[in-house]
Chains A and B, each alone.
Chain A
Amino acid sequence: MHSTYARINNVSAFFSSCMMALLCAIALSSFIFTADPKGDLNVTSIQIFPGNARRYANKKARFHLSTFRHISGYVASSIPDSPISIQIPADLTPLFNWNTKQLFLYVQAEYTNAQGVYNEVVIWDKIIRSKEEANLTLSGRNKYVFRNLGKSWKNVGPANYTLKYNVMPYVGILTYGEAARTSDSIPFPEQRSEVA
């Protein structure tokens, strides 16, 4: 501490140690917040259309798209392919604490395909960055094309749809959870002959 340079050196070294201790404390403080919000998830309509991907040269392989709409408490129109804004009341605010940077939500379809392989497919996701956004109703149709890796959707087992979340902190470990799940498995319908 005999010179200015020595004082700056010492103070900044101790400052760094204090900063590391503070960040550790913040990361550990996340364990105190144990929120487990639960809700409902309903899938009202699924349609299967022939796809237009040409993956294999010889086979006339048809890959199939499907769209879903999910609501809770509101009636959906059954006109296929019209963009319906549908509300899901989802209250995920308990997950927001001082150490929550953002929430990553995703809807997943879990099913066993015709060959007996278990699949988990993410069909919709959203990033929520603040507590205010987390209390709004969520709406959607599938954001990503839902294809089955196979010739068709025939003989594919029924699917369970789940709404899962990933809490991303400012400092600390990532945590995952499940907010909602369809109560019964939902089977896939027959393929439509053409896109309406």
Chain B
Amino acid sequence: MDALPVFVQELLEGKIDFEGQKQVEQTTKVVLTALTILSFIVGFVLQSLRVTFAVFGSGTVLLLLVVIPQWPMYNRNPVKWLPAKEKEKVKSK
């Protein structure tokens, strides 16, 4: 992992800021719950289990595309770090 160039490492790590993390968590919960209910209803009405799992599976794939990669929209609110303190000079004995 350390042999790769730095930007590749950062890409694989996929760090996103706190606002982005909140968005990702919300999106996942809402989409997966809604998808479960939707796929059950659609499959039940059409009386086909194949339809249920097709809807559920494709919906999940779309969700993964939106949520897993480090999209720029998840990095709009970077953490504001305080300025570095001056290092105190070590007093010699």
Residues of A within 8 A of B (CB): 1-5, 7-8, 10-11, 14-15, 18-19, 21-22, 25-26, 29, 97-99, 170
Contact = CB atoms under 8 A, between A and B. Distances in A.
B32 A18 contact: yes
B13 A18 contact: no
Interface residues of B, number: 31
A172 to B, nearest CB: 12
Contacts of A99: 49
8 contacts: A4-B14, A11-B68, A15-B60, A18-B32, A18-B35, A25-B40, A98-B44, A98-B47
A10 B15 CA distance: 15
A58 B49 CA distance: 59
B23 to A, nearest CB: 9
Contacts of A4: 12-14, 68-70
A-B CB proximity, top 4 nearest? A4-B14, A1-B21, A98-B47, A18-B36
B77 interface: no
Interface of B: 12-16, 20-21, 24-25, 28-29, 32-33, 35-36, 39-40, 43-44, 47-49, 52, 56, 60, 63-64, 67-70
A21 B56 CA distance: 12
B15 A2 contact: yes
Nearest to A1: B21
A98 B68 contact: no
Nearest to B45: A98
B14 A11 contact: no
A4 B29 CA distance: 17
A21 B40 CA distance: 10
B28 to A, nearest CB: 5
Contacts of B28: 10-11, 14
Contacts of A3: 13-15
B32 A98 contact: no
B55 to A, nearest CB: 10
| Residue from B14, B29, B48, B64 whose CB has the most chain A CB atoms within 10 Å | B14
